[in-house]
Amino acid sequence: MSDSTPVRTPRHRGIYLLPNLFTTGAMFAGFYAIVASIGGSYSEAAIAVFVAAVLDGMDGRVARLTGTQSEFGVQYDSLSDLISFGLAPSLVMYTWSLSSLKDYGPTWGKIGWAAAFIYAACAALRLARFNTQVAVIDKQYFQGLASPAAAAVCMSFVWSMDKAGAIGEEFCFVMPVIAVVVGLLMVSRFRYFSFKSLPMGERDRVPFLWMIVAVLVLVPFFVDPPRVLLAVSVLYMLSGPVVTLWGLATRRRRRGNG
């Protein structure tokens, strides 16, 4: 081979900027939640996680509307979700309440960080399972509680209690239960409505009654956001077991009658 032979430079594939900017914003919000919780600003940390949830819901929609969906975006979104809805909530719960368990002895201290880790690990497992089943699952339902909804349950509780003037030490024996139960619901087989079939497009029309319902939901939200978010997220969390068990009971009745 002569020295004059041209060397081919490797081709680099570009990425779509707009949807990945939203994903990066969601990741930044999750990172800020961790930093805020370390500094003792727990309400700000909880709000940051909800900001991450809003941005996370927008990146996929922006990608679909602009035709900029990519495998890179899917993987990047999963990594962002792990930080914003897995690591961030677990560390907020630990710094706010779970860390105070060490005052009751080394065993209780281990239970505190173990509960936080279980939540984070379940979030990672849930995201991995979703990525491997995305081509075969029912688009109308999620299998297991989605990680943003799980984070909403935990962070709305922290936000509500912190706004009410309560300190995390008062809930140090309750928080491990919340973290573990919510974490296990993420990796459960309960079916949760995904809201992807709701009319959200430009040509979709809804009855006028929907606007009244929207007003009735938005007004209490602006009056007391943390408690309204807590009530809505807890109801959604409970809907999975209720809907799944109701469906199983209905099938058994039909088989018995048949």
Per DSSP, helices labelled H in the chain are 17-38, 42-66, 71-82, 88-96, 106-133, 147-163, 175-186, 208-223, 225-257
**Helix (H), strand (E) counts: the chain:** 9, 2
Going from the C-alpha of 4 to that of each of 7, 8, 10, 141, the distances in angstroms are 9, 12, 18, 60
Does pLDDT of 6 surpass 50?
Answer: yes
Amino acid symbol at 228: V
Beta strand pairing call for 191-193 and 141-143? antiparallel
Q: Which residue has the tokens 């088989």?
A: 255
Place of tokens 């706010």: 96
pLDDT tens for each residue of 195-214? 765 555 555 566 777 678 77
**Residue 18 near residue 68, CB atoms below 8 Å:** yes
Backbone angles phi, psi at 207, to 5 degrees: -65, 155
Q: Do the beta carbons of residue 230 and residue 160 sit within 8 Å?
A: yes
Q: Containing H/E element for 212?
A: helix 208-223
Confidence band for 253, pLDDT divided at 50, 70 and 90? confident
Report phi then psi at 252, rounded to 5: -65, -40
Look at the alpha carbons of 94, 98, 99, 100 in this order and tell me if their dihedral is positive or negative.
Answer: positive
User: Rounded to whole angstroms, how far apart are CA atoms 104 and 97?
Assistant: 13
Predicted pLDDT at 2: 47
The pLDDT score that the predictor gives to residue 126 is 94
Tell me the C-alpha distance between 197 and 90, whole Å.
31
Stated pTM of the model: 0.86
Tell which wins on pLDDT, 114 or 215. 114
Region of 67 (left: φ > 0; alpha: ψ -120 to 50; beta: rest) is left
Q: At which residue do the structure tokens 């007391």 appear?
A: 224
Among 168-182, 194-208, 241-255, the range scoring the smallest mean pLDDT is 194-208
Could you report the per-residue pLDDT of 30-79, keeping only the tens digit for each? 999 999 999 999 999 999 999 999 999 888 788 778 877 788 888 899 99
* Cα four-point dihedral sign 211, 213, 216, 219: negative
Span 104-149, pLDDT tens digits: 999 999 999 999 999 999 999 999 998 887 665 666 788 899 999 9
Contact by Cβ (8 Å): 46, 226: yes
**Residue holding tokens 């909403």?**
152
